[in-house]
Amino acid sequence: MLNLFKTFFHIGLFTIGGGYAMIPLIEAKVVNEKQWISREELLDLIAVAQSCPGVFAVNIAIFIGYKLRGTWGAVMSTLGCALPSFLIILSIALFFRQFQENPWVARAFRGIRPCVVALIAQPTFKMAQAAKINRYNIWIPALGAFLIWMFGVSPIWVIAAAGLGGWLYGKFVIDAHTL
């Protein structure tokens, strides 16, 4: 139990940028180092955690903790994952007013932004590779992102349309090739 807490506390403490930025560290610690789950299980957990309400990284921590130690494992991994962010935000909130106009602080935040984008982009490319996104089907996520960004289409409609399109493709195109 303590090992679960410490592992997820470390992940939460050393990850800046939210849940998606935690994926490389979760993979390194939980899959590669501890071997608690396989890479394929992590990809499945990512898909499930994205579709569940709540904080993405906490959802993954809950699933892994529960798999390893049941309910108390889920509690310990969740506390470990969320506690560092809580403590850091609490500390920042206590002192931010004093430093908010400081040019050094403003520059530091401007410097952190591109790093967070890179931390989020890296697992996105890994997931695209695992999902076998290639030059023939890259238009599907690109079109979805464009519709959401440019026209404000709800991601739920984009996911539903992509699911329907995938089902139709499998039903009519793939079935036609197997006959």
d(CA 169, CA 86): 45
d(CA 153, CA 157): 7
- Residue by residue, pLDDT tens for the chain (179 residues) are 889 999 999 988 877 666 777 888 888 999 999 999 998 898 888 888 888 887 888 889 999 999 999 999 999 999 999 898 889 888 888 877 777 778 888 888 788 888 878 877 877 787 778 778 888 888 888 898 899 989 998 988 998 998 898 888 888 877 666 65
- pLDDT for 71 equals 94
d(CA 166, CA 173): 10
Contacts (Cβ under 8 Å, ≥6 apart) of 12: 22, 57, 80, 81, 82, 83, 84, 85
Nearest to 4 by CA among 86, 88, 84, 68: 68
- pLDDT for 23 equals 84
